[in-house]
């Protein structure tokens, strides 16, 4: 490395050190907005958030930052793999944002903060019309962002998809989702026609928040989440956020008559937390800890939630503790009945409460709708009707109100392109779970609570290179194969034909 390259790298890192401090402050405000902030304080907190994010934006507009970034991008072959990943990510960011003015950036942030507050109000009132103006503003903001990109795909939606899953296109998604529908639609009909009846009455028995929180903490501890470097809180829509290398925030929501909802949201969010807690320290030192894509992240959260969390081995491990914490709900329930209940296939309205099998349909519906929004194929005011019709078409159910329909998810308050990553995550994790099973007895390790073995394998094979490889390179590195939905579909077919005896 030349002296000039070393000097430029030091200059870049000094500015990024300051950005990290501002980013942690911004995440703290965002976390507050989504957990504790009163409704009437949202707008003011939104102003604070937009101020901080604008300061971050301005840092990346400093002449010395731009000069160093441009120089290092041209000299990237001199850099190690961590710094090369950093300067390549900065270059991608610059190509997308260079033509956005500071005033526009701050206005975009205001629009998203207002959209979040309006969404909360609209969901509470179950009235989409209260959110429609803000959603229209978010859509227009996204279209403006696309227009200002220096390099962009002619397919509008692909430019947004790429922000969440680098290199992914709607052409690929149309293919993999088409293959999912081909195999899952007829299988859903067989399951619906099966004479097997799964008992689930106990799932709606009332359980207090205190008991649910005790179970949540037990589950996080069981899967290996480090509470000395993490925290658990509640929110309207569960999420996980990393505020630093030793500050991982997991959230959940307690429903008195749906105690397993929190259990599985905690395992899901705990999976995200494990990913962040176990990434290499070099990722933080080189300012690349945020380069993991959402598909990569969702693969891990849904691996712990479903492949592990809904397995017979995991239910065997946790059932005694669940029966101890929820004695009134589970006093007359067997371990087998509990396993079957948490895997029951039941077409439903709420994505976050969907069973493992029908979940993919919820993602496909959102993908098709948000692609139509961005590509100008649907009017915002027509979204409730379109949403309801897709649910009738794919799942045979229809929302009775906007709260359980088009307003159920928070994601569109900050833009489009996120939803497909949930399904991509299922495909990725089924691929690496297949390799894991070839290398050791996964079910045996789960049943014995040996998450040190599981997390050790994940750390070495899944988490270690996620910040420095593109998703395509990453899944190839783990499995030696290109992305395919086949492993995921094979997994579902094997599991649910056995469960329902079809």
**3-state SS track over 445-484:** HHHCCCHHHHHHHHHHHHHCCCCCCCHHHHHHHHHCCCCC
462 Cβ contact partners less than 8 Å away, ≥ 6 residues apart: 299, 300, 432, 478
42 Cβ contact partners less than 8 Å away, ≥ 6 residues apart: 33, 113, 116, 117, 120
The 10 Å Cβ neighbour count of residue 136 is: 15
Nearest-angstrom CA–CA distance, 264 and 488: 19
Residue whose C-alpha is closest to residue 22's, from 60, 52, 46: 52
User: What are the structure tokens assigned to 353, written together?
Assistant: 């409460």
The active-site residue, picked from 112, 142, 248, 269, is: 269
Domain edges within the chain: 3-152, 170-500
pLDDT of residue 1: 84
457 Cβ contact partners less than 8 Å away, ≥ 6 residues apart: 436, 439, 440
Residue whose C-alpha is closest to residue 376's, from 164, 168, 140, 171: 140
Query: What does each C-alpha distance from 82 to 70, 73, 78, 282, 365 come to in angstroms?
Result: 17, 13, 12, 7, 37
pLDDT of residue 426: 97
For the four alpha carbons of 320, 321, 322 and 323, in that order, the dihedral sign comes to positive
CB-based contacts of 43-46 (< 8 A; 24+ apart in sequence): 43/113, 43/114, 43/117, 45/113, 46/109, 46/110, 46/113, 46/114, 46/116, 46/117
305 exposure class (CB count in 10 Å sphere: 0-12, 13-18, 19+): buried
Residue whose C-alpha is closest to residue 69's, from 5, 21, 125: 5
The 10 Å Cβ neighbour count of residue 502 is: 14
| Tens-digit pLDDT string for the chain (502 aa) | 899 999 999 999 999 999 999 999 999 999 999 999 998 898 889 899 989 999 998 999 999 999 999 999 999 999 999 999 999 999 999 999 989 998 998 899 899 989 999 999 999 999 999 999 999 999 999 999 999 999 999 999 999 999 999 999 999 999 999 999 999 999 999 999 999 999 999 999 999 999 999 999 999 999 999 999 999 999 988 999 999 899 999 999 999 999 999 999 999 999 999 999 999 999 999 999 999 999 999 999 999 999 999 999 999 999 999 999 999 999 999 999 999 999 999 999 999 889 999 999 999 999 999 999 999 999 999 999 999 999 999 999 999 999 999 999 999 999 999 999 999 999 999 999 999 999 999 999 999 999 999 999 999 999 999 999 999 999 999 999 999 999 999 999 999 999 999 8
Nearest-angstrom CA–CA distance, 169 and 158: 5
Fold assignment, 170-500: 1.10.1370
Residue whose C-alpha is closest to residue 20's, from 289, 346, 342: 289
Can you give the C-alpha Rg of the chain in angstroms? Answer: 23
Q: For the stretch 195-218, what's the b/e string if a residue is b when 16 or more beta carbons lie within 10 angstroms of its beta carbon? A: eeebeeebbebebeeebbbebbeb
- DSSP, collapsed to helix, strand or coil, labels residue 249 as strand
List for the chain the helix, strand, coil content (%; round to 5): 70, 5, 30
User: What are the structure tokens assigned to 18, written together?
Assistant: 């300051």
Query: For residue 47, is it left (φ>0), alpha (ψ between -120 and 50) or beta?
Result: alpha
Query: For residue 294, is it left (φ>0), alpha (ψ between -120 and 50) or beta?
Result: alpha
For the question of residue 269 being annotated catalytic, the response is yes
Nearest-angstrom CA–CA distance, 462 and 446: 18
Are 236 and 278 in contact, with CB atoms under 8 Å apart? Answer: no
User: What are the structure tokens assigned to 488, written together?
Assistant: 């995921």
β partners of residue 240: 250
Query: For residue 224, is it left (φ>0), alpha (ψ between -120 and 50) or beta?
Result: left
43 Cβ contact partners less than 8 Å away, ≥ 6 residues apart: 113, 114, 117
């Amino acid at each position: 490395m030349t002296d000039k390259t070393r000097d430029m790298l030091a200059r870049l890192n000094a500015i990024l050190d300051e950005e990290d401090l501002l980013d942690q402050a911004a995440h703290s405000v965002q976390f507050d907005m989504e957990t504790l902030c009163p409704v009437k304080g949202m707008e003011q907190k939104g102003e604070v958030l937009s101020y901080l994010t604008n300061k971050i934006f301005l840092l990346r507009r400093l002449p010395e930052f731009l000069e160093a970034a441009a120089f290092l991008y041209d000299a990237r072959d001199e850099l190690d793999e961590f710094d090369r990943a950093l300067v390549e990510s900065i270059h991608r960011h610059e190509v997308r944002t260079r033509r956005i003015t500071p005033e526009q950036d701050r206005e975009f942030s205001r629009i998203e903060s207002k959209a979040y507050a309006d969404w909360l109000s609209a969901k509470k009132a179950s009235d989409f019309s209260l959110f429609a103006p803000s959603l229209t503003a978010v859509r227009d903001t996204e279209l403006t962002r696309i227009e200002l990109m220096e390099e962009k795909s002619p397919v509008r939606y692909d430019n947004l998809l790429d922000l969440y899953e680098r290199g992914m296109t709607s052409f690929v998604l149309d293919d993999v989702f088409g293959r999912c529908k081909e195999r899952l639609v007829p299988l859903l009909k067989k399951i619906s026609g099966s004479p097997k009846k799964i008992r689930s009455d106990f799932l709606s028995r009332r359980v207090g928040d205190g008991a649910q929180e005790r179970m949540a903490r037990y589950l996080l501890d069981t899967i290996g989440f480090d509470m000395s470097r993490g925290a658990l809180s509640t929110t309207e829509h569960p999420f996980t956020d990393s505020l630093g290398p030793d500050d991982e925030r997991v959230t959940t929501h307690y429903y008195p008559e749906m105690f397993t909802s929190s259990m599985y949201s905690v395992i899901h969010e705990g999976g995200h937390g494990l990913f962040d807690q176990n990434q290499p320290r070099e990722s933080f030192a080189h300012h690349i800890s945020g380069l993991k894509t959402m598909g990569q992240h969702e693969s891990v959260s849904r691996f712990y939630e479903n492949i592990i969390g809904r397995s017979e081995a995991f239910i065997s491990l946790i059932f005694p503790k669940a029966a101890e914490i929820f004695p009134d709900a589970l006093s007359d329930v067997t371990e087998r009945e509990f396993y079957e209940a948490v895997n029951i296939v039941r077409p439903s309205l709420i994505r976050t409460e969907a069973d493992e099998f029908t979940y993919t349909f919820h993602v496909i519906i959102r993908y098709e709708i948000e692609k139509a929004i961005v590509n100008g194929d649907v009017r915002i005011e027509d979204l409730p009707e379109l949403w309801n019709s897709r649910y009738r078409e794919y799942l045979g159910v229809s929302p009775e109100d906007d709260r359980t329909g088009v307003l159920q998810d928070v994601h569109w308050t900050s833009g489009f392109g996120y939803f497909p990553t949930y399904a991509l995550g299922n495909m990725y994790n089924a691929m690496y779970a297949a390799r894991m099973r070839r290398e050791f007895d996964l079910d045996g390790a789960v049943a014995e609570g040996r998450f040190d073995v599981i997390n050790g394998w994940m750390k070495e094979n899944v988490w270690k290179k996620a910040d420095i490889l593109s998703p395509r390179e990453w899944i190839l590195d783990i499995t030696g194969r290109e992305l395919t939905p086949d492993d995921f579909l094979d997994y579902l077919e094997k599991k649910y034909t056995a469960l329902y005896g079809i």
